[in-house]
Chains A and B, each alone.
Chain A
Amino acid sequence: MTEPGLYQILFISAALFFIGVYGFLTRRNLITMLMSVELILNSVNLNFIAFNKYLWPGRMDGLFFAVFIVAIAAAEAAVAIAIIINLYRSHKSIDVKNAEELKY
């Protein structure tokens, strides 16, 4: 096993990202789709931190981006859940198949 470095972290990050995408594409429950989105966001965060650590150790921009992304992710999760609850109220379901009215 090689010494872990930037490439290893990027591998983890990319893998996590595509796991999240896969989840987003295949899940039908809105809450699980939201979870996939959280995975995607985390993979991005990991990327930022890794680049900050290995490429620009003298700066902290990557770190700040990560912090703000966490904050925005929190806000996004809250709003998404509010929407999901509202949808559940009106459709008695949070299956994405049942929320297809917004079309042509």
Chain B
Amino acid sequence: MPNATTIALIPLLPLAGFLLLGLFGRTAFKNSAGIIGTLLLLASTVLAVYTAYDYFTNSSVDFYRREVPLQLTWLRFSENLSIDMGILLDPISVMMIVVVTFVSLMVHIYSLGYMKGEERYPTYYAFLSLFTFSMLGLVLSSNLFQMYIFWELVGVSSFLLIGFYYNKPSAVSAAKKAFIVTRFADLGFLIGILVLSFYSGTLDFNTLIARLTSPESSELKTAVTSSFLGISGLSWALVLIFIGGAGKSAMFPLHIWLPDAMEGPTPVSALIHAATMVVAGVYLVARLFPIFAISAPAVLEFVGWIGAISAIIAAIIACTQTDIKRVLAYSTMSQIGFMMFALGVSKYGGEEGLGYTASMFHLFTHAMFKALLFLGAGAVIHYVHSNEIKDMGGLRKKLPITHITFLIACLAIAGVPPFAGFFSKEEILLAAYENNTPIYWIALITSGLTAFYMFRLYFGIFWSKPSHLSQMPIHSGERAGGEVHKGEGGFAMMLPLILLAIGAAAAGFIPFGKYVSSDGTPLETKFHLVFSVAPVVLGLTGIFTAMWLYKKQNTRPDKLAASLNGFYKTAYNKFYIDEVYLFITKKILFNLVGKPAAWFDKNVVDGLINFTGNTTQILSGKIKKIQSGKVQQYAIYFLAGVIGLALLFIYVWK
């Protein structure tokens, strides 16, 4: 296997990039920042792929093994408890480093074209590198606390990148929203970590899982028997950790930040809010999956239901949104919901563990096609200079490569064979079918909706009737000799699209179950041809419905919207969840907690301080008169003092 240095270099190279570009980027590498960042990441990607190749091919005995090539003790609290920094290699972390480096590399290359001429170009690349470093650190973490550290780092870099256009008020508020919502969820995560480590006495993943899954261990017994509000300590810990994951992964009801996060540059959305960071929650649950599955199945079911609810709600909202990035954002949320409930319906070990494999598989394929969708959308936005679907249309001739790759991505996400999404989604549905029928039906409907809204988007952008906005640049472009718009944005932007399209088309053929499974025994993925019929038919129905409604410009969509008036409006307004949050924070929290607290602070706390200060001031004002500067007055005090002391010593203290 590759030695520890090689693996350590994978996250450390982007860190070097961040430091280099962050410190000197603005002066030394004004124009070469992108190239430097990309090259460093390329090296990192090569190392990651090499590591993965080595990991999966080298071992003749056991695919599913946990290797800890590096373990440094960082903060030692007691004999048993210390915070370490280490690297943990197991199938999912190896898969994740490949995904993260690959997508990040694509985004880096893409940004060379997309962000060109941007004023804070080096800063952008510095932030990207920081994010990549944090994400890699997160997936390679060998213990919970290290993961938490990188978890927060990821949150920070996400905040920085969403607010990249900091002179845009909406971007600033979106960045704040993302940070506060995820921060709020992270509080749960932190408490969960503390509770879990309290019961298990360790932070290390391997020890943790070993202690909390074997039925004989005393740690597990105390964790299960102790209870708070009628729920066992272990369940509390896992629920709290899941809240952290749900915050990062934009699960209902903590999803509100994700659509707003689309204010950031589009490649950032592709990297952070589609392919990597948002699946951190899924990854977290997968990491602790044995504990969930063996020791707290009830919590796992809770996870599954949250995932299913998120999936369907997000899909419904996505059907009504007009901002293409928001559609993609809700689609992301929906797909992550898929991954979550796939984990939720899974069991530990063997055939029953299909959901786990399926979830990781879907994570992998989703990263490909969702990044592709975002980058494609980025190319469109780059061309049209608008996010609104009504400003687009008929672009298939103008952006041929984008069109083809976008179509591939849409087919993949819709689950049309033989594209990647088909395989992973099929496995998820199968797992749901076998274990939890209600979730299966929800998932089936959601996958139909997915096909519908993706093709609504596709037809809206590339077909429909050319709208006036997309017409204009073509004419002016011709007149100016094609200089106003350089078509699809050049090689740098097209290369990632093509590579990702290949990934989206072919990733499904990887025999994923052989490498990644819940308990380490290879899982042979079986195809049930009969089973596949329903989802595929539903997907195709969705596609054709979208085609019927949106391929040519007509009034059918409006009529449909009118007929579903109330429901359509509710969905368009995202089920008023934002408003509920606003109501809770503004009306309830501010009035009932904030205002009394402010009153208390202003009158009692400040009052006390002011009282002390004023009293001192008044007293000193009186006392300072003694210090008059008159020599003779001092002499009188002195004489009086001497006489007083003499009297005291002579007559009182004889």
A104 contacts B by Cβ under 8 Å: yes
CB distance from A29 to the nearest CB of B (A): 12
**Contact check: which of B624, B628, B636, B639 meets A100 at CB < 8 Å?**
B628
B631 partner residues in chain A, CB cutoff 8 A: 33, 96, 99
B630 contacts A by Cβ under 8 Å: yes
Known contacts A21-B639, A25-B635, A25-B636; A104 and B627 CB within 8 A of each other? yes
Q: A24 and B629: CB pair below 8 A?
A: no
Complex Cα distance, B629 from A85, in Å, reads 19
CB distance from A37 to the nearest CB of B (A): 10
Q: A103 and B629: CB pair below 8 A?
A: yes
CB distance from B68 to the nearest CB of A (A): 70
Complex Cα distance, B632 from A26, in Å, reads 8
Task: Name the interface size band of chain A.
Answer: 10 to 19
B632 partner residues in chain A, CB cutoff 8 A: 24-26, 96
Q: A24 and B628: CB pair below 8 A?
A: no
CB distance from B449 to the nearest CB of A (A): 80
Q: A101 and B635: CB pair below 8 A?
A: no
Q: B629 and A101: CB pair below 8 A?
A: yes
Per-position binary interface string of chain A over residues 1-32, scored 1 when its CB falls under 8 Å from any chain B CB and 0 otherwise: 00000000000000000000100111000000
Most buried by B among A21, A25, A96, A104: A104
Q: B630 and A96: CB pair below 8 A?
A: yes
Complex Cα distance, B639 from A21, in Å, reads 9
User: Nearest chain-B residue to A30 (Cβ)?
Assistant: B631
User: Nearest chain-A residue to B642 (Cβ)?
Assistant: A21
CB distance from A24 to the nearest CB of B (A): 6
B636 partner residues in chain A, CB cutoff 8 A: 25
Q: A100 and B629: CB pair below 8 A?
A: yes
Task: Name the interface size band of chain B.
Answer: 10 to 19
A55 partner residues in chain B, CB cutoff 8 A: none
A24 partner residues in chain B, CB cutoff 8 A: 632, 635
CB distance from B616 to the nearest CB of A (A): 15
Q: A25 and B639: CB pair below 8 A?
A: yes
Q: B635 and A102: CB pair below 8 A?
A: no
A97 partner residues in chain B, CB cutoff 8 A: 630
B630 partner residues in chain A, CB cutoff 8 A: 96-97, 100, 103
Complex Cα distance, B626 from A104, in Å, reads 9
Q: A102 and B629: CB pair below 8 A?
A: yes
CB distance from A28 to the nearest CB of B (A): 8
Most buried by A among B625, B629, B636, B639: B629
A104 partner residues in chain B, CB cutoff 8 A: 624-625, 627-629
Complex Cα distance, B627 from A74, in Å, reads 30
CB proximity to B under 8 Å, residues A43-79: none
Complex Cα distance, B642 from A21, in Å, reads 12
User: Nearest chain-A residue to B623 (Cβ)?
Assistant: A104
Complex Cα distance, B610 from A72, in Å, reads 53
CB distance from B643 to the nearest CB of A (A): 11
Other contacts beyond A21-B635, A100-B630, A103-B630: 8, CB < 8 A: A25-B639, A26-B632, A97-B630, A99-B631, A103-B627, A104-B625, A104-B627, A104-B629
User: Would you list 12 pairs from A and B whose C-beta atoms are within 8 A, ordered by A residue?
Assistant: A25-B632, A25-B635, A25-B636, A26-B632, A33-B631, A97-B630, A100-B629, A101-B629, A102-B629, A103-B629, A104-B624, A104-B625
